[in-house]
């Protein structure tokens, strides 16, 4: 029996580019991160030319691809300036998702410009302030395999 090789929490990293181009930092406090990759698929019904009474065949084709990230956790004060500036600017920032333990030849980094679609905070008496964000890549991320 072959046991699956797994990845630890700290080996999947979400990072945002700082004010220094090419320099990235982790978004502190976000402990639950989910990356969603979706295909927008077009469907076309194709008739049978010999017998139009038969049900149509369904053919599908990918029209576009989108990648987004949802994350939540505690709200870290050191992330406040960076994240609120990003949200209120309405502009893209470069982000990347890294699998730091990727095997040679496997996908290690997905990177590119992204928009901060939502920035939410919540408080509960007796608890720490929490945060949730949704980040959407602006285009298809650039994928880089581990050398």
* pLDDT tens profile 77-97: 999 889 999 999 999 999 999
Residue 126 backbone class (left: φ over 0; alpha: ψ -120 to 50; beta: rest): left
The answer to whether residue 134 scores a pLDDT higher than 90 is yes
The answer to whether residue 5 scores a pLDDT higher than 90 is no
Find, among 84, 39, 83, the residue nearest to 62 by Cα: 39
Query: What per-residue confidence (pLDDT) applies to 1?
Result: 86
């Amino acid at each position: 029996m072959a046991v699956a090789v797994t990845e630890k929490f700290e080996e999947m990293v979400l990072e945002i580019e700082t004010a220094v181009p090419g320099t990235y930092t982790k978004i502190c406090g976000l402990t639950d991160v989910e990356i969603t990759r979706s295909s927008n698929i077009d469907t076309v019904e194709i008739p049978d030319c010999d017998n139009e009474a038969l049900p149509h065949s369904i053919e599908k084709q990918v029209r576009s691809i989108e990648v987004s990230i949802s994350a939540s956790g505690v709200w870290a004060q050191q992330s406040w300036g960076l994240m609120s500036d990003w949200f209120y600017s309405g502009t893209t920032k470069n982000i990347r998702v890294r699998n730091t333990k990727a095997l040679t030849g496997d996908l290690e980094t997905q990177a590119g410009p992204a928009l901060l679609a939502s920035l939410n905070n919540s408080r509960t008496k007796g608890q720490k302030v929490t945060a949730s964000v949704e980040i959407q890549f602006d285009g298809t991320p650039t994928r880089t395999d581990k050398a």
